[in-house]
Chain A
């Protein structure tokens, strides 16, 4: 009796696998690794999955957890199932992960970056109609080198009371990020690329970065290349952000500037972000925090993760679905009837999601 049940289950299992294979081949459904994350991560991931279902996007989600575990040899690493899934699917969508301050084990985001060699962080910042900020004409992209620079994590206590932190700039990484920046500019019809640096003070390190950018610019004559000091960029960005197009820079400046630009359009709750790695791996993420105070209360705003998912669809070439979902999202925000608390309304996350789903379905 039991053996019969096991036999039936086995047949069903094999049948399921054949079904998956057939759908993948003939309906070109792509599998994407989904990392819900901590805090509000799970609820916003559910929201995004619902919206994608309503849009009938050909995406299948594979959920994985990336809590750090100590591997053999005492080094921290991400669980092997997560790594395997990412390497197989190549595309991932990630919710917010917790980062400990001044603790022993490395930040989770840093660990992911090192594992998949995610060298470029791309953040397009476009002003959202319907979400008013003092800046209305923002349309720029910040491309930040994500593996080295000031965040190399190499620090020493030289003597008691003196700490040295090493900023690493290599030729290889600088060249790679510059090439990505120009490729991105070309593929997305952007007119100019600006390198942001502080070579007057950090002559050798930023000087090397700048030299590599100049060399790569030689091969992309159709895209205009300019260089600007970090402080001048900050000054001009705050007064007139419409002057900027694509910005490429090392790690720390990128961190500060990309958050500055996010602040111009309304904060991290509405900003998408993508991390491009070597070997064709790309992980799109929402960059806001885990918001533990509102976790589980259905108050979260899924816009950031949704816009990152839209960025992911564009990266995969599914422009039709991307446009549909993005338009639905912007229409909901512009209408101002069903908005979550951080956008100025008092609707729940589920209501906001339902409104977007409805609009998506109405578009068909």
Chain B
């Protein structure tokens, strides 16, 4: 009877009940099965995506994304949820989380964290990631042909554990003047992220996965992470697995970055390595990032900068945010639109005159976006007026 009732009410209650079943089911089922994304909200052939503008350059870049989508007639509607970083109540971020649970997919700018606030005021971005259990942060660093960098032809995928590690927010002052911060590593999460990394490597035809760690010093914590990676590696004999200590990794990245293929690591090292790689390919304005959970996906720029100093001056580089929106379109299985926009962006990058200030040019944000729209109009099927 419950089954028939559930079936009857599925269109209305569908997601809520489905999720409850999944939560209880998760304890029973193996957590290492292939994740099944529930279909994103689709009504009348159009998808609804949560949009969180954030602070700094977030709002203006996301406006450009909306403009571009409207121009290219992409069947995506945005549900805008504002998160006020200055307010101490968590209602804003909880609303955003609920909206993402409803829609399944989100595109966001970075919400600033004022670190002079007391410790119970948690980072909003971190809260979002842990509440939605977005356990994998994926960043694909590729050298763009039109951008001048010291190293050429870099192609590295970085997979970073996104929910635990040093970002557990568990701190206390045991004695006055002595603060302890806990770094948590669990077997389940390490297995999960390692499995994600190997599956991604296999799907994309990559040949090697490198685990980055500091197990010579943090023997139990990173030792556990490394052991989990080794266990998962044994199930993928076609993919080579090796490991490297984090300080050696950063050193190798700045001297010989071409030796790396896919890298998997815990949270903090992921932060460092992803920023180093973003710097190597040309800066924070060029690389998109994606946060994947079992049920939700949130897309943003890879280095999560707020960009306060360049906000509202029309000089920010829109490439990262636009490429992130392409990743989102791929996730929604709108591959044609994604490829069209991505192609237009890459064509614009090759015209050096249209680089923004951060990569050595003198173009403004709006000029770059206009150029992308022109390329889409000349090559694409259907557009509105510019």
User: Which A residues have a C-beta under 8 Å from some C-beta of B?
Assistant: 99-102, 107, 110, 133-135, 150-151, 153, 155-157, 160-172, 198-205, 207-208, 210, 230-232, 234-239, 252, 255-260, 262-264, 266-268
> In the bound complex, do residue B178 and residue A267 qualify as a contact, i.e. CB atoms below 8 Å apart?
no
Verify if B8 is at the interface (C-beta below 8 Å from A): no
A169-B179 contact in complex given A201-B126, A203-B119, A260-B276, C-beta closer than 8 Å: yes
A256-B247 contact in complex given A107-B216, A200-B113, A236-B279, C-beta closer than 8 Å: yes
The chain A residue with its CB closest to the CB of B246 is: A256
> In the bound complex, do residue B250 and residue A164 qualify as a contact, i.e. CB atoms below 8 Å apart?
no
> In the bound complex, do residue B171 and residue A170 qualify as a contact, i.e. CB atoms below 8 Å apart?
no
Verify if B208 is at the interface (C-beta below 8 Å from A): no
Query: What are 17 pairs between A and B in contact, CB < 8 Å?
Result: A102-B215, A134-B151, A161-B187, A164-B183, A167-B182, A170-B177, A199-B115, A201-B166, A204-B181, A208-B179, A236-B279, A239-B283, A259-B250, A262-B251, A263-B255, A264-B254, A267-B251
CB distance from A258 to the nearest CB of B (A): 8
Verify if B219 is at the interface (C-beta below 8 Å from A): yes
CB distance from B218 to the nearest CB of A (A): 5
Interface segment, B98-106, B220-228, B344-352? B220-228
> In the bound complex, do residue A101 and residue B215 qualify as a contact, i.e. CB atoms below 8 Å apart?
yes
Roughly how many angstroms separate A252 CA and B166 CA in the complex, as a whole number? 11
Q: Which residues from B are CB-within-8-Å of A238? A: 254, 275-276, 279-280
> In the bound complex, do residue B216 and residue A231 qualify as a contact, i.e. CB atoms below 8 Å apart?
no
Verify if B188 is at the interface (C-beta below 8 Å from A): yes
> In the bound complex, do residue A234 and residue B272 qualify as a contact, i.e. CB atoms below 8 Å apart?
yes
Roughly how many angstroms separate A164 CA and B223 CA in the complex, as a whole number? 12
Q: Which residues from A are CB-within-8-Å of B121? A: 203
> In the bound complex, do residue A256 and residue B250 qualify as a contact, i.e. CB atoms below 8 Å apart?
yes
> In the bound complex, do residue A235 and residue B278 qualify as a contact, i.e. CB atoms below 8 Å apart?
yes
> In the bound complex, do residue A204 and residue B255 qualify as a contact, i.e. CB atoms below 8 Å apart?
no
How many A-B residue pairs lie within 8 Å, measured between CB atoms? 180
Roughly how many angstroms separate A248 CA and B49 CA in the complex, as a whole number? 43
Top 8 nearest A-B pairs by Cβ distance? A238-B279, A263-B251, A161-B187, A259-B247, A171-B177, A134-B150, A165-B221, A199-B115
A161-B188 contact in complex given A102-B215, A168-B179, A170-B178, C-beta closer than 8 Å: yes
Roughly how many angstroms separate A155 CA and B216 CA in the complex, as a whole number? 13
> In the bound complex, do residue B303 and residue A235 qualify as a contact, i.e. CB atoms below 8 Å apart?
yes
Q: A169-B179, A238-B276 are in contact. List 10 more A-B contacts (CB 8 A).
A: A134-B151, A164-B183, A164-B221, A203-B117, A203-B118, A231-B272, A235-B275, A238-B275, A238-B280, A263-B254
Verify if B248 is at the interface (C-beta below 8 Å from A): yes
SS class, residues of chain B in contact with chain A: mixed
Q: Which residues from B are CB-within-8-Å of A235? A: 275-276, 278-279, 283-284, 303
Q: Which residues from A are CB-within-8-Å of B13? A: none
> In the bound complex, do residue B180 and residue A234 qualify as a contact, i.e. CB atoms below 8 Å apart?
no
Roughly how many angstroms separate A207 CA and B123 CA in the complex, as a whole number? 14
Q: Which residues from B are CB-within-8-Å of A169? A: 178-179, 181
Q: Which residues from A are CB-within-8-Å of B178? A: 168-171
CB distance from A140 to the nearest CB of B (A): 14
A151-B217 contact in complex given A164-B183, A204-B173, A238-B279, C-beta closer than 8 Å: yes
Verify if B167 is at the interface (C-beta below 8 Å from A): yes
Q: Which residues from B are CB-within-8-Å of A201? A: 113, 123, 126, 166-167, 169
Verify if B271 is at the interface (C-beta below 8 Å from A): yes
Verify if B19 is at the interface (C-beta below 8 Å from A): no
> In the bound complex, do residue A259 and residue B216 qualify as a contact, i.e. CB atoms below 8 Å apart?
no
Roughly how many angstroms separate A157 CA and B246 CA in the complex, as a whole number? 23
A237-B279 contact in complex given A134-B150, A164-B184, A202-B181, C-beta closer than 8 Å: yes
